[in-house]
Amino acid sequence: MRATRTLAGLQSKEHFLRSRILNRDQKFFDMYSLVIGVLALFALGIYVGVSKLSNMTQGIYTTDTAEYQAAIADRIRPVGQVYLPGEEASAGHPQVAAASPAQPVATVLSGPQVYNEACLMCHGTGIGGAPTLENKESWVPRIAQGNDTLYLHALEGFAGQSGFMPPRGARMDLSDDEVKSAVDYMVGQAGN
């Protein structure tokens, strides 16, 4: 009898614990449902408010009104305009006068500059039979012909027994005075 009572007591305790756990779960579910319900009502209130607000303002801007179309056209208009040759700009836009083309600045190279830029390639190494500045003996017969002959050979070119000299040292952009100053520089260096 005692064992049945103990068994019955255990069953009642177990029933009590189950009901207590179920009661706690029911309380959690009830609170969770209440929070979800409040949030749903809050979201529904925001939706209704926004809908009413949009209905009130929709009449102000519609895509068919001229004001709306003008606002869009103003936002997407190009910053500048392109005019093709022969077209004229309207008077409302500023006109810019065309700048005159820049003229190159004439720089005159000195004798040593011309020698270093144009003559050194051949006269520094002796290419094509060109006399080098270090070989003073090869300059003696050339200097004896006179500066006018040296100028003529340097400006117009020369083909002789000892080699070939291209016109202006193959630098057609050099002026006559620049070529003559290079000849004077080389004669001065070789004559010393």
Report the greatest alpha carbon distance in the chain: 154
Helix axes 147-156, 176-191, angle to 10 degrees: 130
111 pLDDT above the threshold of 90: no
pLDDT recorded at residue 11: 61
pLDDT recorded at residue 2: 53
Cα separation values, 171 from 59, 149, 178, Å: 79, 19, 11
pTM over 0.75: no
Residue 112, SS3? helix
Tell me which of 3 and 50 has the higher pLDDT.
Answer: 50
Model pLDDT for residues 39-94, shown as the tens digit of each residue = 999 999 999 998 888 777 666 656 677 887 888 888 898 887 777 777 766 545 56
7 pLDDT above the threshold of 60: no
Backbone angles phi, psi at 83, to 5 degrees: -115, 130
pLDDT recorded at residue 118: 84
**Which among 124, 144, 127 has a CA at the least distance from the CA of 186?**
124
**Residue ranges covered by each domain of the chain:** 1-59, 111-191
Model pLDDT for residues 139-188, shown as the tens digit of each residue = 888 888 888 888 888 888 888 787 788 888 888 888 888 888 888 888 88
Contact 139, 190 (CB under 8 A): yes
97 pLDDT above the threshold of 60: yes
Q: Which CATH architecture describes the domain 111-191?
A: Orthogonal Bundle (1.10)
